[in-house]
């Protein structure tokens, strides 16, 4: 007998990156895994005789639990004042004089207690879970010193401790230059490689290592030093690449076998081809693109023609994507980047799972995979990308157990 069975539902399985619709379907769960999936008419008996619990979905849709594979959601404070100042006409110098910008987030995050960070971050995480998210990646990167980077990763681990959402952490020490290292980027990279990375690895707080490689951030050479240190600690890498200029970031990420290369607005074809060969996933961030009113579109046509899986993420962060919301990213990816609604949904399910190294267990509805899924009050899967706002999520199921129902 199965533990539970979910009937009277339409499924978007997302197998092979397609909707993979099964209408009038049934989905059975055994020990937290999907045990059986198919048309209800093909069930080998009556639901009540096959499973201890029967859930009638009343014609709702079920998709894999959504996966937000790129967030910076653990931070203190916010940058609403800076947003307002800019729209009142303040210059970069005015903003700097006001003490705003990333430095203000670093200062507030260093000053915040773990409890304060948990409170602020869990509110943001709840928003994501309300929208069907069952797995989230969380980066450090607002500490920029050993103690605070570890504090952020500990908070991220605690956010996942209840099991209602899976949290994968990335150490992003190489996010920006902290104020005390201005003009001494190489010395800061030394600190990241020699102290922050080993400390995070020792405490088992990092599932991956991230770096920002771009003009105005860390150079290719500095990024490679961080990646070499990660490799020595057997940690996979991912990378913020080519946001403001073509710095061959996509190719660099591929050369290091990165799980993902993220942003990619200015990436070139050789880099995209290298990503395809390396199996590096492209993570696009339409919220940031929108918020910063960027003009250069990511090379979606090249990613498609070379067969690079495209994932989408909220990029939840106070400076360039103050959004604790994943569903609007599907709409923005379609309207701004020209993705199809099917590609957008794949971007927050199966392809996002690949970006986190979870492709074998998460991201699609298939027998044997972890039974993480979301229920939706929709008539067709495309509605998830079509709607601008609103939340049709009717419930979130984690390892076969309903853990969350939006208010
Ligand atoms: Zn980011």
- pLDDT tens-digit map of 180-221: 999 999 999 999 999 999 999 999 999 999 999 988 899 999
Q: How far is the CA of 369 from the centre of ligand 1 (A)?
A: 28
Q: How far is the CA of 128 from the centre of ligand 1 (A)?
A: 17
Burial of 194 by CB count in 10 Å (0-12 exposed, 13-18 middle, 19+ buried)?
exposed
3-class SS of residue 75: coil
Q: Tell me the sheet residues that pair with 5.
A: 28, 54
| pLDDT score, position 54 | 97
3-class SS of residue 191: helix
Q: How far is the CA of 36 from the centre of ligand 1 (A)?
A: 37
pLDDT at residue 99 above 80? no
Query: Is residue 152 within a helix (H) or strand (E), and if so which, with residue range?
Result: helix 146-159
Q: What's the rounded Cα separation, in Å, for the pair 407 and 397?
A: 15
CB 211 within 8 A of CB 239: yes
pTM: 0.97
Q: How far is CA 128 from the centre of its chain?
A: 11
Q: How far is the CA of 321 from the centre of ligand 1 (A)?
A: 9
Banded pLDDT at 95 (limits 50, 70, 90): confident
Q: Tell me the sheet residues that pair with 129.
A: none
Q: How far is the CA of 56 from the centre of ligand 1 (A)?
A: 39
| pLDDT score, position 129 | 96
Q: How high does pLDDT run on average in the chain?
A: 96
Q: Tell me how crowded residue 23 is: count the other CB atoms within 10 A of its CB.
A: 11
Q: How far is the CA of 214 from the centre of ligand 1 (A)?
A: 12
Q: How far is the CA of 277 from the centre of ligand 1 (A)?
A: 24
**For the chain, how far is it from start to end, CA to CA, in angstroms?**
33
Q: How far is the CA of 158 from the centre of ligand 1 (A)?
A: 21
Q: How far is the CA of 291 from the centre of ligand 1 (A)?
A: 13
Helix axes 114-130, 146-159, angle to 10 degrees: 40
Q: How far is the CA of 50 from the centre of ligand 1 (A)?
A: 45
Q: How far is the CA of 268 from the centre of ligand 1 (A)?
A: 20
Region label for 338, one of left (φ > 0), alpha (ψ between -120 and 50) or beta (otherwise)? left
CB 264 within 8 A of CB 338: no
pLDDT over 90, % of the chain = 91
Q: How far is the CA of 32 from the centre of ligand 1 (A)?
A: 31
* Main-chain phi, psi angles of 154, to 5 degrees: -65, -45
Lowest mean pLDDT among 106-115, 149-158, 207-216, 398-407: 398-407
């Amino acid at each position: 007998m199965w533990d539970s069975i979910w009937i009277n539902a339409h499924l978007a399985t997302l197998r092979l990156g397609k909707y993979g619709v099964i209408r009038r379907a049934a989905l059975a769960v055994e020990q937290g895994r999907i045990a059986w999936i198919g048309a209800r008419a093909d069930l080998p008996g009556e639901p009540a005789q096959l499973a201890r619990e029967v859930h009638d979905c009343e014609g709702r849709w079920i998709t894999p639990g959504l996966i937000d594979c790129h967030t910076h959601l653990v931070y203190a404070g916010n940058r609403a004042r800076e947003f307002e100042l800019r729209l009142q006409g303040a210059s970069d110098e005015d903003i700097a004089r006001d003490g705003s910008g990333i430095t203000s987030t670093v200062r507030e995050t260093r000053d915040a207690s773990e409890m304060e960070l948990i409170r602020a971050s869990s509110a943001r995480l709840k928003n994501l879970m309300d929208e069907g998210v069952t797995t989230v990646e969380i980066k450090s990167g607002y500490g920029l010193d050993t103690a605070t980077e570890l504090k952020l990763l500990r908070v991220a681990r605690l956010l996942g401790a209840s099991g209602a959402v899976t949290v994968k952490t990335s150490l992003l020490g190489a996010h920006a230059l902290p104020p005390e290292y201005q003009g001494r980027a190489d010395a800061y990279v030394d600190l990241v490689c020699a102290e922050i990375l080993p400390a995070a690895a020792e405490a088992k707080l990092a599932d991956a290592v991230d770096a920002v490689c771009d003009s105005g951030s860390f150079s290719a050479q500095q990024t490679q030093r961080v990646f070499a240190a990660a490799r020595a600690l057997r940690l996979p890498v991912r990378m913020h690449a080519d946001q403001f200029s073509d710095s061959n970031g996509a190719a660099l990420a591929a050369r290091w076998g990165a799980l993902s290369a993220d942003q990619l607005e200015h990436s070139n074809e050789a880099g995209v081809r290298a990503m395809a060969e390396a199996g590096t996933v492209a993570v696009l961030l339409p919220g940031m693109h929108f918020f910063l009113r960027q003009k250069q579109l990511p090379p979606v046509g090249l990613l498609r023609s070379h067969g690079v899986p495209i994932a989408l993420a909220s990029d939840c962060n106070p400076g360039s994507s103050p959004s604790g919301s994943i569903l609007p990213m599907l709409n923005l990816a379609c309207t701004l980047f020209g993705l199809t609604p099917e590609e957008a949904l794949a971007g927050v399910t199966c392809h996002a799972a690949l970006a986190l190294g979870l492709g074998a267990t998460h991201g699609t509805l298939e027998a044997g995979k972890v039974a993480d899924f979301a229920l939706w009050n929709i008539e067709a899967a495309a509605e998830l990308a079509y709607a601008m706002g609103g939340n049709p999520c009717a419930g979130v199921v984690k390892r076969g157990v309903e853990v969350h129902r939006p208010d």
